[in-house]
Protein backbone atom coordinates (compact mmCIF):
# COMPACT_ATOMS: atom_id res chain seq x y z
CA UNK A 1 0.00 0.00 0.00
CA UNK A 2 1.38 3.38 -1.00
CA UNK A 3 1.55 6.14 1.61
CA UNK A 4 -1.17 8.28 -0.01
CA UNK A 5 -3.23 5.55 -1.64
CA UNK A 6 -6.58 6.94 -2.91
CA UNK A 7 -6.10 10.32 -1.24
CA UNK A 8 -7.45 13.25 -3.27
CA UNK A 9 -4.98 16.11 -3.68
CA UNK A 10 -5.48 19.59 -5.14
CA UNK A 11 -2.26 21.25 -6.31
CA UNK A 12 -2.37 24.74 -7.79
CA UNK A 13 0.25 25.86 -10.27
CA UNK A 14 1.10 22.25 -11.07
CA UNK A 15 1.61 22.46 -14.82
CA UNK A 16 5.26 23.34 -14.46
CA UNK A 17 8.20 23.56 -12.08
CA UNK A 18 7.77 22.95 -8.37
CA UNK A 19 4.01 22.41 -8.63
CA UNK A 20 4.42 19.75 -11.28
CA UNK A 21 7.05 17.99 -9.18
CA UNK A 22 4.70 18.07 -6.18
CA UNK A 23 1.85 16.60 -8.21
CA UNK A 24 4.05 13.84 -9.61
CA UNK A 25 5.37 13.00 -6.14
CA UNK A 26 1.92 12.76 -4.59
CA UNK A 27 0.63 10.71 -7.52
CA UNK A 28 3.61 8.35 -7.25
CA UNK A 29 2.49 7.61 -3.71
CA UNK A 30 -1.06 6.80 -4.79
CA UNK A 31 -2.86 10.15 -4.65
CA UNK A 32 -5.46 11.18 -7.21
CA UNK A 33 -4.53 14.72 -8.20
CA UNK A 34 -6.41 17.76 -9.45
CA UNK A 35 -3.92 19.65 -11.62
CA UNK A 36 -4.08 23.39 -12.18
CA UNK A 37 -2.27 25.78 -14.47
CA UNK A 38 -3.10 29.11 -16.06
CA UNK A 39 -2.73 27.45 -19.47
CA UNK A 40 -4.25 24.22 -20.75
CA UNK A 41 -1.17 22.72 -22.42
CA UNK A 42 1.12 22.43 -19.37
CA UNK A 43 -1.78 21.25 -17.22
CA UNK A 44 -2.58 18.47 -19.67
CA UNK A 45 1.12 17.54 -19.88
CA UNK A 46 1.18 16.95 -16.14
CA UNK A 47 -2.06 14.97 -16.29
CA UNK A 48 -0.60 12.81 -19.07
CA UNK A 49 2.62 12.25 -17.11
CA UNK A 50 0.60 11.05 -14.12
CA UNK A 51 -1.60 8.82 -16.27
CA UNK A 52 1.55 7.28 -17.77
CA UNK A 53 2.52 6.05 -14.30
CA UNK A 54 -0.86 4.40 -13.79
CA UNK A 55 -2.15 7.04 -11.36
CA UNK A 56 -5.21 9.28 -11.70
CA UNK A 57 -5.34 13.01 -12.44
CA UNK A 58 -7.69 15.59 -13.89
CA UNK A 59 -7.08 19.20 -14.93
CA UNK A 60 -8.73 22.36 -13.62
CA UNK A 61 -7.33 25.04 -15.90
CA UNK A 62 -7.60 28.69 -15.01
CA UNK A 63 -6.41 31.71 -13.08
CA UNK A 64 -6.34 31.04 -9.34
CA UNK A 65 -7.04 34.73 -8.71
CA UNK A 66 -10.45 34.56 -10.42
CA UNK A 67 -13.20 35.11 -7.88
CA UNK A 68 -14.89 31.80 -8.66
CA UNK A 69 -11.77 29.67 -9.02
CA UNK A 70 -11.69 28.25 -5.49
CA UNK A 71 -15.23 26.92 -5.76
CA UNK A 72 -14.54 25.56 -9.24
CA UNK A 73 -11.42 23.63 -8.22
CA UNK A 74 -13.14 22.14 -5.20
CA UNK A 75 -16.08 21.15 -7.38
CA UNK A 76 -13.76 19.37 -9.85
CA UNK A 77 -12.29 17.35 -6.97
CA UNK A 78 -15.68 16.40 -5.57
CA UNK A 79 -17.25 15.54 -8.93
CA UNK A 80 -14.32 13.42 -10.09
CA UNK A 81 -13.06 11.85 -6.87
CA UNK A 82 -15.72 12.41 -4.22
CA UNK A 83 -13.64 14.14 -1.58
CA UNK A 84 -10.66 16.26 -0.55
CA UNK A 85 -7.71 15.04 1.51
CA UNK A 86 -4.78 17.28 0.57
CA UNK A 87 -4.62 20.90 -0.59
CA UNK A 88 -1.32 22.37 -1.76
CA UNK A 89 -1.50 26.11 -2.46
CA UNK A 90 1.52 26.43 -4.71
CA UNK A 91 0.56 28.83 -7.53
CA UNK A 92 2.45 32.10 -7.52
CA UNK A 93 5.07 34.26 -9.18
CA UNK A 94 7.27 37.26 -8.37
CA UNK A 95 6.52 40.68 -9.87
CA UNK A 96 9.33 42.69 -8.36
CA UNK A 97 10.25 46.31 -7.89
CA UNK A 98 11.55 48.67 -5.24
CA UNK A 99 8.82 50.51 -3.38
CA UNK A 100 9.14 53.86 -5.18
CA UNK A 101 8.65 52.11 -8.54
CA UNK A 102 6.00 49.60 -7.47
CA UNK A 103 2.52 50.29 -8.83
CA UNK A 104 -0.72 49.58 -7.01
CA UNK A 105 -1.35 46.89 -9.63
CA UNK A 106 1.91 45.09 -8.84
CA UNK A 107 1.28 45.26 -5.10
CA UNK A 108 -2.27 43.98 -5.37
CA UNK A 109 -1.30 41.21 -7.80
CA UNK A 110 1.14 39.78 -5.26
CA UNK A 111 -1.49 39.78 -2.50
CA UNK A 112 -4.13 38.32 -4.83
CA UNK A 113 -2.12 35.33 -6.04
CA UNK A 114 -0.26 34.47 -2.83
CA UNK A 115 -2.87 35.22 -0.15
CA UNK A 116 -6.37 35.76 -1.56
CA UNK A 117 -6.32 32.82 -3.98
CA UNK A 118 -5.37 30.25 -1.29
CA UNK A 119 -7.94 31.81 1.06
CA UNK A 120 -10.72 31.31 -1.49
CA UNK A 121 -9.73 27.70 -2.19
CA UNK A 122 -9.61 26.87 1.51
CA UNK A 123 -12.91 28.65 2.16
CA UNK A 124 -14.54 26.67 -0.65
CA UNK A 125 -13.17 23.43 0.82
CA UNK A 126 -14.42 24.18 4.33
CA UNK A 127 -17.99 22.89 4.01
CA UNK A 128 -17.10 19.66 2.15
CA UNK A 129 -14.39 18.91 4.70
CA UNK A 130 -16.69 19.63 7.64
CA UNK A 131 -19.39 17.40 6.14
CA UNK A 132 -16.91 14.58 5.60
CA UNK A 133 -15.61 14.89 9.16
CA UNK A 134 -19.16 14.74 10.55
CA UNK A 135 -19.86 11.54 8.59
CA UNK A 136 -16.56 10.02 9.71
CA UNK A 137 -17.27 10.86 13.33
CA UNK A 138 -20.69 9.18 13.13
CA UNK A 139 -18.95 6.10 11.68
CA UNK A 140 -16.37 6.12 14.48
CA UNK A 141 -13.52 7.10 12.16
CA UNK A 142 -10.77 9.69 12.41
CA UNK A 143 -9.25 10.87 9.14
CA UNK A 144 -6.45 13.40 8.99
CA UNK A 145 -6.35 15.85 6.11
CA UNK A 146 -3.47 18.07 5.00
CA UNK A 147 -3.07 21.64 3.87
CA UNK A 148 0.37 22.73 2.72
CA UNK A 149 0.76 26.38 1.80
CA UNK A 150 3.83 27.55 -0.08
CA UNK A 151 5.72 30.52 1.31
CA UNK A 152 9.27 31.77 0.77
CA UNK A 153 12.28 32.89 2.74
CA UNK A 154 11.31 36.34 1.38
CA UNK A 155 8.08 36.00 3.37
CA UNK A 156 9.95 35.00 6.51
CA UNK A 157 12.89 37.44 6.39
CA UNK A 158 11.94 39.94 3.67
CA UNK A 159 13.94 40.67 0.54
CA UNK A 160 14.96 44.00 -0.97
CA UNK A 161 13.17 44.66 -4.24
CA UNK A 162 10.39 42.20 -3.39
CA UNK A 163 8.09 44.19 -1.14
CA UNK A 164 4.85 42.87 -2.63
CA UNK A 165 6.10 39.30 -2.97
CA UNK A 166 7.44 39.33 0.59
CA UNK A 167 4.15 40.70 1.92
CA UNK A 168 2.11 38.07 0.08
CA UNK A 169 4.31 35.23 1.27
CA UNK A 170 4.30 36.58 4.84
CA UNK A 171 0.51 36.53 4.71
CA UNK A 172 0.74 32.83 3.87
CA UNK A 173 2.54 32.20 7.15
CA UNK A 174 -0.10 34.05 9.17
CA UNK A 175 -2.94 32.31 7.37
CA UNK A 176 -1.30 28.93 7.99
CA UNK A 177 -0.99 29.47 11.73
CA UNK A 178 -4.52 30.84 12.07
CA UNK A 179 -6.16 28.05 10.06
CA UNK A 180 -4.24 25.40 12.00
CA UNK A 181 -6.08 26.68 15.09
CA UNK A 182 -9.46 26.83 13.34
CA UNK A 183 -9.28 23.43 11.64
CA UNK A 184 -7.52 21.41 14.32
CA UNK A 185 -10.91 20.19 15.55
CA UNK A 186 -11.49 18.73 12.09
CA UNK A 187 -8.18 16.80 12.19
CA UNK A 188 -6.68 18.98 9.46
CA UNK A 189 -2.94 19.61 9.64
CA UNK A 190 -2.13 23.04 8.21
CA UNK A 191 1.53 23.78 7.55
CA UNK A 192 3.67 25.83 5.19
CA UNK A 193 6.95 25.29 3.38
CA UNK A 194 9.06 28.40 2.79
CA UNK A 195 11.37 27.81 -0.14
CA UNK A 196 14.77 29.34 -0.62
CA UNK A 197 16.58 29.29 -3.94
CA UNK A 198 14.99 26.51 -5.97
CA UNK A 199 16.12 26.18 -9.59
CA UNK A 200 13.08 26.83 -11.80
CA UNK A 201 12.25 28.99 -14.81
CA UNK A 202 11.44 31.79 -12.36
CA UNK A 203 14.94 31.70 -10.87
CA UNK A 204 16.92 31.04 -14.04
CA UNK A 205 19.79 33.30 -15.05
CA UNK A 206 18.47 36.44 -16.72
CA UNK A 207 18.90 36.40 -20.49
CA UNK A 208 17.37 39.60 -21.86
CA UNK A 209 13.85 39.29 -23.23
CA UNK A 210 13.89 35.49 -22.90
CA UNK A 211 13.03 35.89 -19.24
CA UNK A 212 9.86 37.93 -19.83
CA UNK A 213 6.76 35.81 -19.15
CA UNK A 214 3.15 36.70 -19.87
CA UNK A 215 1.00 36.39 -16.75
CA UNK A 216 -2.60 37.27 -17.51
CA UNK A 217 -2.50 40.72 -19.09
CA UNK A 218 0.98 41.59 -17.86
CA UNK A 219 4.54 40.94 -19.00
CA UNK A 220 6.55 39.91 -15.93
CA UNK A 221 10.32 39.62 -15.96
CA UNK A 222 11.51 36.38 -14.40
CA UNK A 223 15.02 35.34 -13.49
CA UNK A 224 17.97 36.34 -11.34
CA UNK A 225 21.17 38.18 -12.16
CA UNK A 226 24.04 35.65 -12.55
CA UNK A 227 26.17 37.37 -9.91
CA UNK A 228 23.34 37.02 -7.39
CA UNK A 229 23.00 33.32 -8.19
CA UNK A 230 26.71 32.93 -7.46
CA UNK A 231 26.24 34.85 -4.20
CA UNK A 232 23.31 32.64 -3.18
CA UNK A 233 25.25 29.47 -3.87
CA UNK A 234 28.06 30.73 -1.65
CA UNK A 235 25.63 31.68 1.14
CA UNK A 236 23.65 28.42 1.15
CA UNK A 237 25.26 26.01 3.63
CA UNK A 238 24.60 23.07 1.29
CA UNK A 239 26.40 25.02 -1.44
CA UNK A 240 23.73 25.02 -4.15
CA UNK A 241 20.15 25.77 -5.06
CA UNK A 242 17.55 23.07 -4.61
CA UNK A 243 15.90 21.01 -7.32
CA UNK A 244 12.16 20.94 -7.91
CA UNK A 245 12.17 17.31 -6.75
CA UNK A 246 13.75 18.34 -3.45
CA UNK A 247 11.17 21.10 -3.08
CA UNK A 248 8.41 18.57 -3.70
CA UNK A 249 9.92 16.29 -1.09
CA UNK A 250 9.55 18.98 1.57
CA UNK A 251 5.86 19.35 0.76
CA UNK A 252 5.40 15.57 0.67
CA UNK A 253 6.64 15.31 4.27
CA UNK A 254 3.63 17.32 5.44
CA UNK A 255 1.24 15.09 3.47
CA UNK A 256 2.31 11.86 5.15
CA UNK A 257 0.49 10.12 8.01
CA UNK A 258 3.70 10.56 10.01
CA UNK A 259 2.94 14.31 10.16
CA UNK A 260 -0.47 13.85 11.81
CA UNK A 261 0.69 15.64 14.99
CA UNK A 262 2.44 18.55 13.25
CA UNK A 263 0.38 21.65 12.53
CA UNK A 264 0.78 25.41 12.37
CA UNK A 265 4.41 25.22 11.30
CA UNK A 266 6.38 27.17 8.70
CA UNK A 267 9.42 25.12 7.72
CA UNK A 268 12.29 26.44 5.59
CA UNK A 269 13.39 24.35 2.61
CA UNK A 270 16.41 26.49 1.84
CA UNK A 271 19.48 24.30 2.05
CA UNK A 272 20.19 25.78 5.47
CA UNK A 273 20.07 29.40 4.33
CA UNK A 274 18.74 31.78 6.99
CA UNK A 275 18.95 35.45 5.94
pLDDT number for residue 236: 95
CB atoms within 10 A of CB 232: 19
In a domain, 15, yes or no: yes
Q: Is residue 275 part of a domain?
A: no
Would you say residue 2 lies in a domain?
no
Instruction: Please compute the mean of the pLDDT values over residues 258-262 and round it to a whole number.
Output: 98
- Domain containing 259 equals 8-269
Per-residue pLDDT, 212? 58
Mean pLDDT of the chain, nearest integer = 94
Quick one: pLDDT band at residue 52, thresholds 50, 70, 90? very high
pTM over 0.85: yes
- β-pairing, 145-152 with 212-215? unpaired
> Using one digit for the tens of pLDDT, what is the confidence trace for 196-216?
999 987 777 776 555 556 666
Residue 75: closest CA among 106, 36, 102: 36
Render pLDDT for 105-134 as a digit per residue (tens, 0 to 9). Answer: 999 999 999 999 999 999 999 999 999 999
Percent of the chain with pLDDT over 70: 96
* Rounded Cα distance, 197 and 73, in Å: 29
CA dist., res. 182 & res. 199, Å (int): 34
Asked if residue 70 has pLDDT above 90, the reply is yes
Q: How far is Cα of residue 55 from the mean position of the Cα atoms in its chain?
A: 21
pLDDT band at 232 (very low <50, low <70, confident <90, very high): confident
pLDDT of residue 231: 84
Distance CA(264)–CA(248), nearest Å, equals: 19
Q: Is 261 among the domain residues?
A: yes
Mean pLDDT across the stretch 69-92? 98
Helix, strand, coil share of the chain (percent; to 5): 50, 20, 35
Q: pLDDT band at residue 230, thresholds of 50, 70 and 90?
A: confident
Domains of the chain: total: 1
Q: CA–CA separation, 33 vs 13, rounded Å?
A: 12
CA-wise closest residue to 203 among 226, 231, 180: 226
Tell me the CA distances in angstroms from 37 to 41, 144, 157, 229, one per residue in order: 9, 27, 28, 27
The CA–CA distances, whole Å, from 26 to 4, 33, 140, 207, 218 equal 7, 8, 27, 33, 32
Beta carbons within 8 Å of 122's beta carbon, 6+ residues apart: 70, 87, 89, 147, 179
> What integer pLDDT is reported at residue 88 of this predicted model?
99
Judged against a pLDDT cut of 60, whether residue 62 lies above it is answered with yes
Given 81, 165, 197, 252, which residue is catalytic?
Answer: 165
pLDDT at 45: 98
SS3 of 39, please?
Answer: coil
Asked if residue 138 has pLDDT above 80, the reply is yes
Residue 227 confidence (pLDDT): 80
Whether 189 is in a domain gets the answer yes
Q: What is the CATH number of the domain that holds 103?
A: 3.40.50.720
The answer to whether 165 is a known catalytic residue is yes
Give the residue among 177, 170, 181, 212 at the shortest CA–CA distance from 191. Answer: 177
Does residue 264 lie within any of the structural domains? yes
Domain assignment of residue 113, yes or no: yes
Contacts of 35 (CB under 8 A, 6+ apart): 11, 14, 15, 23, 43, 46, 47, 50, 57, 58, 59, 60
Residue 242: pLDDT band by 50, 70, 90 thresholds? very high
Amino acid sequence: MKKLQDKVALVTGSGRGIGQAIALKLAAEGARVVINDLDDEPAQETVAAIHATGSEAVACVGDVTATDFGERMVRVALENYGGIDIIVNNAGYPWDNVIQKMSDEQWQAMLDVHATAPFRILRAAADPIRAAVKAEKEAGQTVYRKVVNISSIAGVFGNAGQLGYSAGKAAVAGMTRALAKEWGRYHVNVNAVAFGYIKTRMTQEIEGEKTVTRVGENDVRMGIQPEFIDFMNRMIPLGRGGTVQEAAGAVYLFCLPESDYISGQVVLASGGLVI
